[in-house]
Chain A
Amino acid sequence: MSLKHDIEFTLNGVRRQASVRVDMSALDMLRDVVGLTGTKYGCGEGECGACTILVDGKSLNSCLLFAVDCNGRNIVTIEGLAADAKADALRAAFVEYGAVQCGYCTPGMVVQASHLLATHPQADADAIKRGIEGNLCRCTGYKKIVEAIASVNAADKQGARP
């Protein structure tokens, strides 16, 4: 029986407590302890980005993050982004541009895209490609994904004008 540790953190705006194995990943905690399965397991070693979440506003691979290290931190998953207007625009754009094929990479892709737009509001297509370089789409639908993200950015810029 592996050692467990009690942690407390904010998950999608709500205070949570959890008792987790100390060698458990944040991804396993989210899926198996908390029961939020929107965050996906792809490779388990930080190569594919399917498990991307936001921790204190920064995007991280939850498969590389120790669950115990979530203590005291602010976690946002794809489920939490559903309540965010800007992320909802991303979701709509992914649908409109057909940026979803099998869909497995989509949650991580949307979380990373929302982090990219938050930190690089001026991102052009090249910057978007750089921004999602840690997210693999094995259906290789990158073109439509980049177009979808760029369309949200362009709409934002237009909306910002008086």
Chain B
Amino acid sequence: MNEIEHYVAPSSLEQAAEYLQRSGEVTLLAGGTDLMPQSQSGKLKIKRTLMNIHQIPELKGITIEGGEIRIGALATITEIMQSELIQKHLPILIEACDQFASDQIRNAATLGGNICNASPAGDMLIPLLVLDAEVELASKPNGSLTRRRLRLTEFFVGPGKTRRAPAELLEGVRIALPPPHHYARFFKFGTRPALDISTISIGIAGVLNTGTLSNVRVAFGAVAPVPTRAPRTEQALEGRHLDAAAIDAIAAVARDEVKPIDDIRATAWYRKELIHNITKRMLTHVAQA
């Protein structure tokens, strides 16, 4: 049972940050699609104050500013999917949105919620990791609004745990515009296309030049306590000409690099096989691109 003492719905970022600074015992509500089932099932207890951040204009919108795309924390999965900016510059995010839950959930769930929920299987997190996304955190420690940026790779510390301080609010994510010939793909494996939590997911990105990827980023979902980059796989892939033997070798590195667990969705062994086989398939597509 939730013993909520206060409900607040600030109308500006300043107000929200001020409130968070004064009171540490706050649960944030955005889309609610995770908070509601988690609080109803008792997995998560809503703290003394429930703060609805839905009406804060600074957290909305998808814009391009100084060579970066900024996606506000309150952007819904549907809004990202329909954004011409994202379709043009970051199509890998569209791939992830397209496989995200169902229409009803995409219409409510926010990008900020997916990030702060910090599930190892969070659908948007893998593409964001391979895009070198940064999170923007706002707080009001000394009476004035201050912001810090953190690379998303450093943001996750465990399932449901992030480096966001209790007095901070996730304002949005920033992604540098990809360079020419940028290649980025996402693959999610689940038992059915809709409403499934990933058994594993894979993101691969880099600059493509005649069958070779450079400046490589590889990330894996649902194989570790946090969504994670795969440095050994990246190193194996970097600058390598992708013939059949190379693809086999890199897929084997990927399989050996991940340390998944057995759970209700799959065994560790099966996850390692999936990582191997899907990495191989994705690299075959890279070689043909």
Closest to A63 in B: B36
Q: Of A2, A64, A71, A131, which one neighbours B105 at CB under 8 angstroms?
A: A64
Flag if B108 contacts A60 (CB, 8 Å): yes
Closest to A43 in B: B37
Flag if A65 contacts B36 (CB, 8 Å): yes
Question: Does A97 sit at the interface, judged by CB under 8 A?
Answer: no
Q: Kindly identify, within residues 1 to 35 of chain B, every residue whose CB is under 8 Å from any CB belonging to chain A.
A: 1-7, 9, 29, 31-33, 35
Contacts of B32 in A (CB 8 A): 64-66, 69
Number of interchain pairs (Cβ within 8 Å): 92
Flag if A22 contacts B4 (CB, 8 Å): yes
Flag if A64 contacts B4 (CB, 8 Å): no
Shortest distance between the CB of B83 and any CB in chain A (Å): 15
Interface magnitude class on chain A: 20 to 34
Q: Of A25, A45, A59, A63, which one neighbours B103 at CB under 8 angstroms?
A: A59
Write the A30-56 contact mask toward B (1 if CB under 8 angstroms, else 0).
Answer: 000000000000001111010010000
Question: Does B266 sit at the interface, judged by CB under 8 A?
Answer: no
Contacts of A86 in B (CB 8 A): none
Flag if A2 contacts B193 (CB, 8 Å): no
Shortest distance between the CB of B31 and any CB in chain A (Å): 8
Q: Kindly identify, within residues 59 to 111 of chain B, every residue whose CB is under 8 Å from any CB belonging to chain A.
A: 78, 101-105, 107-108
Central interface residue in A49, A60, A131, by most chain B CB within 10 Å:
A60
CA of A58 to CA of B40 in the docked complex: distance in angstroms?
24
- Known contacts A3-B5, A46-B33; A134/B101 CB under 8 A: yes
Central interface residue in B1, B37, B55, by most chain A CB within 10 Å:
B37
Contacts of A52 in B (CB 8 A): 104
- Known contacts A64-B32, A112-B104, A134-B194; A69/B6 CB under 8 A: no
Write the B34-56 contact mask toward A (1 if CB under 8 angstroms, else 0).
Answer: 01110111000010001010110
Q: Of B46, B193, B194, which one neighbours A23 at CB under 8 angstroms?
A: B46
Question: Does B289 sit at the interface, judged by CB under 8 A?
Answer: no
Shortest distance between the CB of B190 and any CB in chain A (Å): 12
Flag if B29 contacts A69 (CB, 8 Å): yes
- Known contacts A22-B7, A64-B37, A134-B102; A58/B52 CB under 8 A: no
Q: Of A45, A60, A133, which one neighbours B37 at CB under 8 angstroms?
A: A45
Question: Does B195 sit at the interface, judged by CB under 8 A?
Answer: yes
Shortest distance between the CB of A46 and any CB in chain B (Å): 6
Contacts of B104 in A (CB 8 A): 46, 49, 52, 59-61, 112, 134
Contacts of B193 in A (CB 8 A): 133
Closest to A134 in B: B102
CA of A71 to CA of B101 in the docked complex: distance in angstroms?
25
Q: Kindly identify, within residues 56 to 112 of chain A, every residue whose CB is under 8 Å from any CB belonging to chain B.
A: 58-61, 63-66, 68-69, 71-72, 112
CA of A68 to CA of B29 in the docked complex: distance in angstroms?
10
Shortest distance between the CB of B53 and any CB in chain A (Å): 10
Q: Of B2, B9, B40, B78, which one neighbours A71 at CB under 8 angstroms?
A: B9
- Residues on B lying within 8 angstroms of A by beta carbon are 1-7, 9, 29, 31-33, 35-37, 39-41, 46, 50, 52, 54-55, 78, 101-105, 107-108, 193-195
13 pairs from A and B in contact (CB 8 Å cutoff): A2-B3, A5-B7, A23-B2, A23-B50, A25-B36, A46-B195, A59-B107, A60-B107, A64-B32, A64-B37, A65-B32, A69-B32, A71-B9
18 additional A-B pairs beyond A25-B40, A64-B37, A134-B102, beta carbons within 8 Å, are A23-B2, A23-B46, A44-B37, A47-B195, A49-B102, A60-B104, A61-B105, A64-B36, A66-B32, A66-B52, A68-B7, A68-B52, A69-B32, A115-B103, A131-B103, A133-B102, A133-B194, A134-B195
- Residues on A lying within 8 angstroms of B by beta carbon are 2-3, 5, 22-23, 25, 44-47, 49, 52, 58-61, 63-66, 68-69, 71-72, 112, 115-116, 131, 133-135
